[in-house]
Structure 1
Amino acid sequence: MRLTGHKIAVLMESDYYEPEILYYQQRFPEEGAEIHFMTRMWGADKQTFTGHEHQFPFEVTRSFEDLDDRELGEYSAVIVPSGMVADRLRFTEDPKALPPASRFLKRAFDDPGMLKGIICHGMWLAAPIPEVVRGRRAVVHNNLLGDLRNMGGIYVDQDVVIDGDLVTARTGNHCHLLARTLIDILAQRAPRTARVAA
């Protein structure tokens, strides 16, 4: 299995696109990777989210807010999925403060050794931190063309675009292409858990 030892984080909230999330849940472990679904826990031990199309329940027990730098550094990739997940995650109680999920994504972007996979409307989560995509090549859902351009990103009309540690995909229906691209890149790298433990 090509990704044995790799850990991949997927951010979650309600109104997720069921085919995409269920695909990740199966596909990455097929290659030997650990996949961890994370969210803002709001002080609870677990959160149950519902999908957009079929209201399929999905339970999450991991918080991205609790990860220290060492723990975050063990992840080979972070995925911001499609659907309304990013819009829900970018809520902030304080209009003067970054949303916690955008702060988490900024931390991931501060680590160029970690892949960032952003698909479809997932780019919304980067809107409060436009510097992470400014000047970078990316693809988004057609509804987000203005958002990407306002953030200073360079739109590329392809289903998947690779720009260094940023891998973007057009829509949730392209999740298999995003996953395959991340898998192919990570298969050429040693797991980060081994590097952190060394």
Structure 2
Amino acid sequence: MSEQTLQGRTIAFLVAAEGIEQVELTEPWKAVQEAGGTPRLLSPESGTVQAFNHLDKADTFDVDETVSGADVASYDALVLPGGVANPDALRTDEKAVAFVRDFVASGKPVAAICHAPWTLIEADVLAGRTLTSWPSLRTDIRNAGGTWVDEEVVVDGNLVTSRNPDDLPAFSARLVELVAAAR
């Protein structure tokens, strides 16, 4: 990847209170920081969130802002980490779903990995889009009007998606490239 700078860019990472696949939060977060950007953790509730290494509890992370107080205009991109429980909880939170819907509509970059497209499905923003995810979401994506493909990373307009933690290097690189190229 060529040198990309995200200096002055703020990227929202939206997660539920628990069930976040830790590496799907920390690796893109690190990529944003290394490119000079500022990552911020958003969640439906203030306090801390619980990440997991697959099914085992991992670290906790402090929430920077609740999604109900967040403004799409304050952020240059949105990252939706996976884990099974994380997007499953987010898609039942009306404010989180509305934030995601508004973010996609803004045209700013949105990156979702693994099970995170569940939140995009709930936001009803996948019609006519091509994306990838954890394979079990294939039918859900098709039922939402999207086209599912089995690729390491897929970019469709402002949407970046990947399948699983093995795809994180490509996912993080494309996220940084898309944010750097925006505006």
TM bin, normalised by shorter chain, reads: 0.7 to 0.9
Counterpart secondary structure, 1:55: strand
Say what the alpha-carbon RMSD is for the aligned residues.
Answer: 1.7
Q: 1:48 to 1:128 in 2, by over 3 A?
A: closer
Q: Residue 145 of structure 2 aligns with which residue?
A: 152
Q: Which runs of 5+ in 2 are unaligned?
A: none
How many residue pairs get aligned? The number is: 176
Q: 1:42-91 CA distances to partner (integer Å, 9 max, x unpaired)? A: xxx413324244412322321111023xxx21311101111121101122
Among 132, 135, 139, which residue is 2:132 paired with? Answer: 139
Shift, 1:20, TM fit: 2.0
TM-score by length of 2: 0.88
Q: Residue 118 of structure 1 aligns with which residue?
A: 112
Q: Residue 89 of structure 2 aligns with which residue?
A: 88
Q: Which runs of 5+ in 1 are unaligned?
A: 93-98, 191-198
* 1:156-175 matches, cutoff 5 A: 156-175=149-168
Counterpart secondary structure, 1:78: strand
Output the CA distance in 2 between the equivalents of 1:31 and 1:138: 25
Shift, 1:139, TM fit: 0.8
Q: Percent identity?
A: 24
Output the CA distance in 2 between the equivalents of 1:177 and 1:20: 12
Among 19, 44, 51, which residue is 1:15 paired with? Answer: 19
Decide whether the 8 Å contact of 1:120 with 1:141 is kept in 2. yes
Q: Residue 95 of structure 1 aligns with which residue?
A: none
Q: Residue 38 of structure 1 aligns with which residue?
A: 42
Counterpart secondary structure, 2:60: strand
Decide whether the 8 Å contact of 2:23 with 2:53 is kept in 1. no
Counterpart secondary structure, 1:127: helix
Q: 1:73-115 CA distances to partner (integer Å, 9 max, x unpaired)? A: 13111011111211011224xxxxxx22111101101201x10
Decide whether the 8 Å contact of 2:31 with 2:176 is kept in 1. no
Decide whether the 8 Å contact of 1:15 with 1:52 is kept in 2. no
Counterpart secondary structure, 2:75: coil
TM-score by length of 1: 0.82
Q: Residue 28 of structure 2 aligns with which residue?
A: 24
| Residue range with higher mean Cα deviation, 139-148 or 169-178 | 169-178
Shift, 1:162, TM fit: 0.8
Q: 1:88 to 1:181 in 2, by over 3 A?
A: same
Q: What is the letter of the counterpart of residue 128 of structure 1?
A: E
Q: 1:12-68 CA distances to partner (integer Å, 9 max, x unpaired)? A: 221111222221332211110000011001xxx413324244412322321111023
